[in-house]
């Protein structure tokens, strides 16, 4: 054990667990407008290879594969595939296979507020608007996108990290169950077309 570790453990100590504190933590989490990780989205050099890595090796089922004909933010005709791999708590690791914007070998350099982002669940549309106003007031302009099945607010944090605050209404679950049935077929169609 290093000096640093010793100091850290010394500061934390080994006093008995305070059950009232534990209860306060449970209540604090229940009150939070921010419910947890929805997805982390990163670049993909190739959808088929990425699918094999996550679905076949890491056993994370691909639950959705979206073939999108144009950029969400600019409307520019630049087809891409956005696909998600599920973890045990329902959150996902997602990717963009976006040949028009970043192709070739990692690490990827191009980044808009959409590319490479972390999405966190918020508890309501009201919370999206609440945070939009708070961010605006603090000098962080954000972009709202109604994806249909869910609603998202995209913002860049002070470190340059892209953040998506996302609210999924109850009916979103059915959308994802339907999406899951066609995910592999959609990704294969994308891979075939991409060549
Ligand atoms: Fe996202």
Q: Is residue 154 part of a domain?
A: yes
Confidence of residue 9 (pLDDT cuts 50, 70, 90): confident
Continuous segment of H or E residues that includes residue 66 = strand 62-68
pLDDT in tens, 74-122: 888 989 999 999 999 999 999 999 888 877 777 777 678 888 899 999 9
What spacing in Å lies between the alpha carbon of 8 and ligand 1's midpoint?
36
Q: CB 171: neighbour CB atoms within 10 A? A: 9
CATH (domain of 60): 3.10.180.10
pLDDT in tens, 148-167: 889 999 999 988 889 999 99
Q: What is the rounded CA–CA span in Å between residue 84 and residue 150?
A: 15
What spacing in Å lies between the alpha carbon of 90 and ligand 1's midpoint?
14
What spacing in Å lies between the alpha carbon of 26 and ligand 1's midpoint?
28
Q: Is residue 13 part of a domain?
A: no
| Average confidence (pLDDT) over 18-36 | 95
Q: Is residue 9 part of a domain?
A: no
Q: Is residue 47 part of a domain?
A: yes
Counted domains in the chain: 1
What spacing in Å lies between the alpha carbon of 139 and ligand 1's midpoint?
22
What spacing in Å lies between the alpha carbon of 147 and ligand 1's midpoint?
10
Closest CA to 189 of 94, 104, 81, 86: 81
Q: Is residue 142 part of a domain?
A: yes
Q: Is residue 18 part of a domain?
A: no
What spacing in Å lies between the alpha carbon of 115 and ligand 1's midpoint?
9
What spacing in Å lies between the alpha carbon of 17 and ligand 1's midpoint?
38
Q: pLDDT at position 10, please?
A: 81
What spacing in Å lies between the alpha carbon of 73 and ligand 1's midpoint?
13
Q: pLDDT at position 110, please?
A: 67
Mean pLDDT of the chain: 90
- Look up the domain containing 136 and give its range: 34-194
Residue 3 has pLDDT above 70, yes or no: no
What spacing in Å lies between the alpha carbon of 4 and ligand 1's midpoint?
38
Residue 137 or 8, more confident: 137
Residue 1 has pLDDT above 60, yes or no: no
Which residues lie below 8 Å from residue 47, measured CB to CB, with a gap of 6+? Answer: 65, 81, 83, 95, 97, 187, 190, 191, 194
Confidence of residue 30 (pLDDT cuts 50, 70, 90): very high
Task: Name the token pair of 141.
Answer: 């302009």
Q: pLDDT at position 4, please?
A: 61
Q: pLDDT at position 35, please?
A: 95
Q: Is residue 12 part of a domain?
A: no
What spacing in Å lies between the alpha carbon of 116 and ligand 1's midpoint?
9
Q: pLDDT at position 13, please?
A: 83
What spacing in Å lies between the alpha carbon of 25 and ligand 1's midpoint?
28
pLDDT in tens, 43-55: 998 899 999 999 9
Q: Is residue 162 part of a domain?
A: yes
| Average confidence (pLDDT) over 134-161 | 92
């Amino acid at each position: 054990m290093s000096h640093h570790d010793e100091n850290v453990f010394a500061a934390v100590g080994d006093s008995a667990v305070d059950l009232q504190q534990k209860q306060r933590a449970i209540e604090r989490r229940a009150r939070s407008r921010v419910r947890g990780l929805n997805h982390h989205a990163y670049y993909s050099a190739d959808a088929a290879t990425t699918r094999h890595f996550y679905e076949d090796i890491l056993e994370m089922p691909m639950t959705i594969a979206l073939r999108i004909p144009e950029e969400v933010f600019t409307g520019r005709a630049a087809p891409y595939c956005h696909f998600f791999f599920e973890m045990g708590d329902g959150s996902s690791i997602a990717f963009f296979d976006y040949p028009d914007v970043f192709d070739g070998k990692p690490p990827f350099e191009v980044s808009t507020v959409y590319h490479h982002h972390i999405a966190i669940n918020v508890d309501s549309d009201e919370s999206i608007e609440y945070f939009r106003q708070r961010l605006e007031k603090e000098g962080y302009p954000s972009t709202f996108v109604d994806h249909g099945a869910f609603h998202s607010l995209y913002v860049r944090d002070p470190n340059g990290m892209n953040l998506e605050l996302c609210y999924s209404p109850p009916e979103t679950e059915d959308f994802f169950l339907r999406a899951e049935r066609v995910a592999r077929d959609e990704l294969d169609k994308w891979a075939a077309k991409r060549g």
